[in-house]
Structure formats: C-alpha cells, structure tokens
Amino acid sequence: MAERGVKVDHATLNRWVVKFAPLIAARAHARKRPTATSWRMDETYIKVKGKWTYLYRAVDRDGQALDSLLSERRDLSAARRVFKRAIGTNGVPDRIVIDKSGANLAGLQAVNVILKFTGNGRTIEVRQVKYLNNILEQDCCGLRALEESNGDFEVS
C-alpha cells in the first residue's frame, strides 16, 4: 500500500483480516476438490527451528493433502487430533491406511468410538499395510529438498 502512496494504520489491516479472512476461507472451501474415500496417514520426525517434532500428514489415495499437524509427541492425542481435523473438513472416509504405529491405531479406534456413539452409523476401516502408504513414504523426498534449502528445517 505504501508503494501506491496510501498510508494505512496497522489496526486497519488487522480489522481487514478479521473481516475478510472468513469470507476468503468460505470461498476456498467452496472451490475445494472432493476427496477420495480412501486415505493414507503417516508421521515423520523432523527438526523445526532446532527442535525435533513429529509431522503428521493425511492425504487421500490420489495424493491430495487433507491435513497436517506438528506435534511434540507421537501419542494418542496427537493422532486423534489430526484425524478429527481431517474428518471435520473432508468428511468421513471409508478406510484409512496407516503404518504399524500404535498411537495411530489407538487414535483411529477412538475416532471410531466417537462415530459409533454420535449415530453416524458407519465406522472407518483401518488397514495397516506398509506398501499402500508409499504415497506418503515417497513424499519425504520433498521434505528433504526443503531441508537442504533452509537450515531451520531438518528431516530424520
């Protein structure tokens, strides 16, 4: 705005963000592609700003990113949180493929209990097959490229 000679106070910009962010989010949600009914979920251990954290990622079978979450711990609450967020924005999938992580399995079982008691009538099929998760396992190469370009980001 300063390039065009318009002086705007920072409080005005903040009001614009509060006013227009929900409108932009609603339009983006309306244009969102439908997701496949089979999802993949994985976590990887990465270093962000010198601190090791877990990056949880959920994608559909076509590789479309559904949700991601940075967590300090690899536990039930982190897994449940990423599943609930992904389901909240994309709907309930038919099946989710995960690795052999006990936290992910417990998180999905907790979500299935919630779905059963809310009257949804359907639960998520859980598959623990390593080769089906190759979409996410191969995606680590993109994270490695980001690591090389930025010193504050490392992947184990």
- Confidence (pLDDT) at 15: 94
- 61 has pLDDT over 70: yes
pTM of the model: 0.67
120: tokens are 């949804």
Show the domains of the chain with their CATH numbers.
38-155 (3.30.420.10)
Residue with tokens 């976590």: 43
For residues 23-51, give the mean pLDDT: 85
- 155 has pLDDT over 60: no
Q: Which amino acid is at 51?
A: K
What DSSP designation does 101 have?
-
Is pLDDT larger for residue 101 or for residue 41? Answer: 41
How confident is the model over 83-120, as pLDDT tens digits? Answer: 888 888 888 899 988 888 888 888 888 888 888 888 77
Is pLDDT larger for residue 147 or for residue 125? Answer: 125
- Confidence (pLDDT) at 16: 92
**What is the rounded distance in angstroms from the CA atom of residue 97 to the CA atom of residue 105?**
10
Question: Which stretches within the chain are classed as H helix?
Answer: 10-30, 76-90, 102-117, 134-138, 140-149
- Confidence (pLDDT) at 145: 56
